[in-house]
Amino acid sequence: MSEVAFSLERKLEINKAQIRSWQRQSLISDKTKFQCLDPKCHIPLSCACWEEATHKRQPYFYPTFKKEHPHVFGCNYASPKEIKDAITHEVEQAFESQQKRTEIVLGNPKSFSTTVGTSTTTSDSTASDTSDDKSKTKTVRTQITEMEHREQSTWYRNLASFVSMFNDEKINNLAPITLKLSFDKRDNFDVSKLTGARIQSSFSRFFYEITASNVPLDELHIFFGKAKIFKLNNNGLCKIIFTNKPSIKLLFNVNHLPDNINIKKYIGMQSNLENLTELVVYFEGALSFIRQPKKDGTTYPQLTAIPLTKEFYRSLYFEKI
């Protein structure tokens, strides 16, 4: 559940403590006219404990379509329980898809409005207690299902779910999946040279364990391996050191991570690297040699991580061993 949301009726941010006051002033009238504040999420939210006369508990916000559209991976406003429930549901759904031979498609994380239409469409995609609204919701839900599951395919956009599917014993990692991914464009690297983002694959081919051997270059994978994390400065910049291939340059800013990704306690100083806790780090992107400058003015090739998303933390997933 969330304590804050965006009111589609007022076009303003609202927190749960304001609900009663806004209701009494007739500023809001529909418990389903809210959406997630995270610009990369924007899923429809509804307000629980809406009727003041019948609910003593303070209102809060929850995903209107929690199964079809849970919070996206890396959303700043998803609770740990919502994240866990969404992952569990998608793994079960993927297993059912394999049993029914339904195509599994892995796509980029997208906001609800980007996925199914405009903001107007988003605000209409709501649930209600009245029969008319239920009918409307059923129609919208059908439209969403037709878009997300067209051509007998099931779409997934959650990196955490990809990892859980790969590690789940029920999932056949050799079965075919379809990748319909794309790298976010960036100024300092030409992503057009990267391959493997839109192909037929399998979980066993898409996931690539980092070992001491050579790694595939300029090719999209979910790379994973044991690693430690240490701070580079006091502004949140951190470096991930893979145990089997420390030469990989993988930097991210821990201050950009949502509060629901709790890894700060595992991050330490480089001087204490041997005593730091080892994690399994998953990185969605490509590895490429990029020329780095030296102090003498020359350059050298550095094996560098190129994340799928511009917000690096959305391309990272951590698991405690």
Alpha carbon distance 179, 106 (integer Å): 5
Contact 300, 291 (CB under 8 A): yes
Structure tokens at 162: 């990809």
* Residue range 204-220, pLDDT digits in tens: 999 999 999 999 999 99
Q: Three-state SS for 101?
A: coil
pLDDT at 129: 40
Per-residue 3-state assignment (H helix, E strand, C coil) for 181-240:
CCCCCECCECHHHCECCCCEEEHHHHEEECCCCCCCCCECEEEEEEEEEEECCCCCEEEE
Q: Is the pLDDT of residue 15 over 80?
A: yes
* Residue range 147-185, pLDDT digits in tens: 444 457 888 989 999 999 999 999 999 999 999 999 999
Alpha carbon distance 73, 157 (integer Å): 8
pLDDT at 112: 72
* Helix (H) or strand (E) segment spanning residue 166: helix 159-167
Residues 6+ apart with CB under 8 A from 158: 70, 72, 73, 86, 87, 90, 109
What percentage of residues in the chain have a pLDDT greater than 90? 70
- Read off the pLDDT of each residue in 23-32 and give the average, rounded to a whole number: 95
* Residue range 227-247, pLDDT digits in tens: 999 999 999 999 999 999 999
Q: Is the pLDDT of residue 197 over 90?
A: yes
> Mean of the per-residue pLDDT values for the chain?
87
Confidence band for 252, pLDDT divided at 50, 70 and 90: very high
pLDDT at 153: 87
Going through the chain in order, the beta strands assigned E by DSSP cover: 4-7, 12-15, 34-35, 44-48, 60-63, 103-107, 153-156, 176-180, 200-202, 207-209, 221-231, 237-242, 251-253, 268-269, 279-293, 299-307, 316-320
Confidence band for 57, pLDDT divided at 50, 70 and 90: confident
Confidence band for 260, pLDDT divided at 50, 70 and 90: confident
Alpha carbon distance 77, 260 (integer Å): 8
pLDDT at 113: 58
Work out the angle at residue 258's Cα, subtended by the Cα atoms of residues 313 and 92, and round it to the nearest 5 degrees: 80
Contact 283, 307 (CB under 8 A): yes
